[in-house]
Amino acid sequence: MTGGIGMSLLYRKAMDALYLACIIIAGTALVLISAVIPWAVYTRYVINRAASWPEPTAVLLTIVLTFFGAAACYRLGLHMNVTLAVGLLPKAWRRASDIFVELLMAAIALFMAVKGTGLVAATWANTISDFPSLSVGVTYLPIPLGGVILLLFVIEHLTIGPPPDTADGHETAAFE
């Protein structure tokens, strides 16, 4: 029993660390995106020699931001969903529905991990024209990695429940 609790605590701590890593990676990508595009403007208007690399770099960073950030959002239950129908269900049914959703999430996480790895492998030998030394496969790596992280967060939800700081959407910056 104590061993089980100890394992749960250990897994929770590991997931906390993984969440933090996702946010740091995605946050760094956001800051870099915000820096490279103004640099493109600077090189075009001030140096008079437009740099071609900032735009593709920003696109690559966007992939990093999206897939690491998406997994982190899932852990905290921030993704938009329709709660209208589920809200009408009795508590036991709602719990069953939550478990079913987690299993479906595991399926899509596996899809991202497996098919994403396939995409990385298939494009590994190709290179990006703006960065001849960079493999296209590397740019797709955040997809399978994001899938694996998402799967780990789903396992956390299913076994020891969502983290205590799971919040509603107000913890995010406004979009709509």
Q: Residue 80 interacts with another protein (CB under 8 A)?
A: yes
Among 9, 100, 159, 161, binds another protein (CB under 8 A): 100
CA angle centred on 114, ends 78 and 58, rounded to 5°: 60
> Interacting stretch for another protein, rule CB under 8 A, among 2-10, 127-135, 163-171?
163-171
| Alpha-carbon span 60 to 37, nearest angstrom | 13
Q: Residue 92 interacts with another protein (CB under 8 A)?
A: no
| Alpha-carbon span 133 to 114, nearest angstrom | 25
Q: Between the CA atoms of 40, 42, 48 and 51, what dihedral angle is there, to the nearest 10 degrees?
A: -20
Q: Residue 161 interacts with another protein (CB under 8 A)?
A: no
| Alpha-carbon span 85 to 94, nearest angstrom | 10
**3-state SS, residue 124:** coil
Q: Residue 70 interacts with another protein (CB under 8 A)?
A: yes
136 within 8 A of 128, measured Cβ to Cβ = yes
Least separation in angstroms between CB 3 and another protein: 33
Q: Residue 172 interacts with another protein (CB under 8 A)?
A: yes
Among 18, 140, 149, 151, binds another protein (CB under 8 A): 140
One-letter identity of residue 5? I
CA angle centred on 100, ends 96 and 103, rounded to 5°: 140
> Which residues of the chain form contacts with another protein (CB under 8 A)?
23, 26-27, 30-31, 33-34, 37-38, 40-41, 45, 55, 58-59, 62-63, 65-70, 72-74, 76, 78-86, 97-98, 100-101, 104-105, 107-108, 111-112, 115-116, 118-119, 122, 140, 143, 169-176
